[in-house]
Structure 1
Amino acid sequence: MDDGPLSDLLVVDLTRALAGPHAAMMLGDMGARVVKVESPAGDDTRGWGPPFVGEGEERESTYFMAANRNKESLVLDLKDEADLAILERLVARADVLLENYRVGVMDRLGLSVERLHELNPGLVVLSITGFGHDGPEASRAGYDQIAQGEGGLMSITGTEQPTKVGVPIADLIAGMNGAFGVLAALHERSRTGRGRVVRTSLLAGMVGVHAFQGTRWTVAGEVPGLAGDHHPSIAPYGMFRTQTVPVQIACGSENLWRVLCGVLSWDPAEPGFATNPERVAHRDALVDRLEAHFADRPAEHWLALLAEAGVPSGMVRSMDSVYSWEQVLSQGLLLSVEHATQGELRLPGSPIRFDDQPWSGGRSQHLAPPTLDQHGSAIREWLED
């Protein structure tokens, strides 16, 4: 069935943990058939918790569920010759293979790039590592916590000390970069007929999103520090205390500053605050003044006034609030799937929609994260055809 823009693709997912599985899930969201090849022990994240759902042998990790929707599970021991032969038959039919082993492991398994392309010259291979495929530290194991620190992100996150982002952002960005690279290689293959190796890493992903914080150093020679809750180059642009909970305000232009001043009955041309560079230079005084103004009314009062005036603003939502918010639901960002042992589950959805589809991703029917080897027998039978 044609169910998504990638529905003609077969993806072999040899990855575990998060970066690789996230890349494979993105391709699966768009309709690709993704076969997740797991060791007999299963993906590491099957044991990451709590929280879990279910009990005993049917216990499932919510962490695993976050990165493995729209996949089939096949257990293979890649050190076993018979199982390796099954994988090779799968590779021969595939369009894409993803792996995130340490540098050199695929070669030792007998799955070098040369061997993969001998089996299938059109295969696109995505390889994700922690710190890159060459260079003096290529052999290091890559985990999100380490990459956030080594890649500089933690040095600009937090208020009083370096702080990690609340999700494994290095893994997630590496996965997104990997999926993007795969699509580029597939487009090239449509012209050449040949597969290509796509390489990325957690470190590359972190450096790749430095944006203006990176150019503060590379161009201006200024080492950025902790950004806290406020934008280092724009003001007012951050989080401000009120009588109840904080509100967020983003004045990204001089016109928005004038509109905000209209709400507050302030003079937008007041010396020290008239231009964005002045406001950045006097940010602490500006924050203190805004918070003193906001202190006598609850957040709801200020958010209503700001919204009416057209000043970009908002609250800080907890996860339960996000997933009950009508705007999130209207975008198809909450999926309902039927799990093999847990029944109906609600999962975060794909961030991409096509045309007027009410669902997220490119497919109308999403698959629940698989139980270990759930599809093993069916895949083996299919490979025998």
Structure 2
Amino acid sequence: MSEQPTAAPLAGIKVVDLSKILAGPYVTMSLADLGADVIKVEHPDGGDPTRGWGPPFNGPDATYYLAANRGKRSVTLDLKSPLGQEAVHRLLATADVVVENFRPGSSLARAFDYKDLSARYPRLVLLHISAFGDHGPLRDEPGYDMIAQASAGLMSLTGEPDGPPVKAGYAMGDLAAALFGLIGVTSALVERERTGRGQYVTTSLYESQLALHINWATGYFATGERPGRLGSGHPSLVPYQAYPAADGHFVIAVGNDALFRRLCAALRQPQWADDPRFVTNRDRVANRAALNAKLQAVLVDDTVAHWCALLGREGVPVTPIRHLDEVYDCPQTEALGMLRHVDHPTIGPLRQIAFPVTFRGERPPVRTAPPTLGQHSRDVLAELGYGEAEITRLLDHSTPHSHQRSHPRSRQRGA
């Protein structure tokens, strides 16, 4: 059974999701987790492209889609048709927030321009997410997560010093834009309580990556030196990286000189703490290669479990590098209640990662499963005042096939 909503700070907020792929849908899923009523508008022919981004698949959709769309109701409408646009305007008339990632200059961007929308719906908050932002020479360029990671510098900082650039394992371009977009939307809703008016909120994958440069940016501004890749190393702390043991790698994170002395004592190498090359963190950063060579020569003689137990007892920050199966089975993950189950109409029980913030000690529940394509079309359109005949006409208008036509993934598998 689906969990009953408890912590729901955004209960009563209505969101229209006109976005697709990851950044926008992650914003709207987060708003749904927080209690908002989210209507996801999808094209009748295939819906959100991530429904087909697999394998892996689980039921009718790719697991990629299932990761960013729970808690929503799916309505299929052709946004390029007058009938579809009229239906969206009915949704917007009672909405608090709309989220879109239309390409700048596209017909949909013109059809749902904020200047026009704000005149009709002055309390509406519109979040626009783009690849490169609303201004500048790259404004009209399309972009995916990897484009953002490459163009905004993350790939230049990721990977081993003598290896090729590497993208981050997570979709950091999309997810960073989603989190900043979420902050923008909730801030605009707070301001609306004071002013009574909504506003146009924008962010982009590119801008969000720049915001996350943090110490890399200030380091470059101070020195003018182009930073290079350090593998798992830290530009300003040593030792602070993954080290090889006899049976794998683990992480040591020494954030101050006192911890370094503890590390030396635990490894029975007290002389390192008095070596002028290593006494202070400044010294250790300057002599990174020499210290890492000493550490690796010692650590390779025993196992990850041995070193984690030994150093942990001495208060040195240390951890094995866990794979996802180990993370999901970890007692800490269980204690935090970060794994939830929700009933999916075709899959049955579906595991999801919960929202990572608690309110008054309660974590927002996973209320409903990611919807199948068009699952709620008739219910939502009826709520907007359409009669049964109008609903049928609207859903059948934009395509010669039913709005429940099989998904591209299903056709590939012969469904």
Both structures adopt the same fold (TM-score exceeding 0.5): yes
- Structure 2: which amino acid aligns with 1:142? G
Aligned residue number for residue 224 of structure 2:
221
Shift of 1:106: 5.9
Aligned to 1:345: 350
> Structure 2: how far apart are the matches of 1:80 and 1:324?
48
2:274 partner SS: coil
Aligned to 1:6: 10
1:37 corresponds in structure 2 to 41
Q: Which residue of 1 aligns with 2:299?
A: 294
**2:31 aligned with 1:27, yes or no?**
yes
Quick one: distance in 2 between partners of 1:45 and 1:213? Answer: 33
User: For the aligned residues, what is the CA RMSD?
Assistant: 1.4
Aligned length: 377
Equivalent residue for 1:113? Answer: 114
| Separation of aligned partners in 2, 1:340 and 1:128 | 31
Cα gap change, 1:108 to 1:280, in 2 (>3 Å): closer
Rounded Cα–Cα distance in structure 2 between residues aligned with 1:258 and 1:143: 45
User: Is 1:127 paired with 2:128?
Assistant: yes
1:157-190 alpha-carbon deviations (Å, 9 max, x no partner): 0001211001211000001110001111111100
C-alpha spacing 1:111/1:320, structure 2 compared with 1 (3 Å): same
**What is the Cα deviation at residue 120 of structure 1?**
1.2
1:272 corresponds to which residue? 277
SS of corresponding position for 1:336: strand
Gaps of 5+ in 2: 387-415
The share of aligned pairs that are identical, in percent, is: 43
Q: Contact between 1:126 and 1:199, CA under 8 Å: does it hold in 2?
A: yes
Higher relative contact order (Cα pairs below 8 Å, separated by 6+ residues): 2
Deviations 1:223-248 (A, max 9, x none): 11112111111000001111111110
Cα distance between partner residues in 2 of 1:39 and 1:84 = 12
- Deviation of residue 108 (structure 1)? 5.3
1:161 and 1:256 map into 2 onto residues whose CA distance is 33
**Which whole-Å CA distance do the structure 1 matches of 2:158 and 2:6 have between them?**
43
Kindly report which structure 2 residues correspond to 1:127-276, keeping only aligned pairs within 5 A, or say none: 127-159=128-160, 160-265=163-268, 266-267=270-271, 268-276=273-281
Q: Distance in 2 between matches of 1:142 and 1:235?
A: 36
Question: Per the alignment, do residues 65 and 107 of structure 1 end up closer, same or farther by CA in structure 2, a change over 3 Å counting?
Answer: closer
CA contact (8 A) 2:220 2:226 kept: yes
Q: Give the Cα separation in 1 of the matches to 2:62 and 2:108.
A: 31
2:22 to 18, 28, 42: 18
CA distance in 2: counterparts of 1:355 and 1:226, whole angstroms: 42
- Aligned partner of 1:314 among 293, 315, 319: 319
348-357 or 178-187, which deviates more: 348-357
Distance 1:250 1:68 in 2: 36
Instruction: Give, as a single letter, the amino acid of the residue that structure 2 aligns with 1:50.
Output: P
* 1:91/1:119 contact within 8 Å kept: no
Amino acid at match of 2:225: E
Cα 1:132–1:365 shift into 2, 3 Å: closer
Question: Which consecutive residues of structure 1, in runs of 5 or more, have no partner in the other structure?
Answer: none
Say if 1:177 and 1:186 are closer, same or farther in 2 by CA, change over 3 A.
same
C-alpha contact (below 8 Å) 2:53/2:62 kept by paired residues = yes
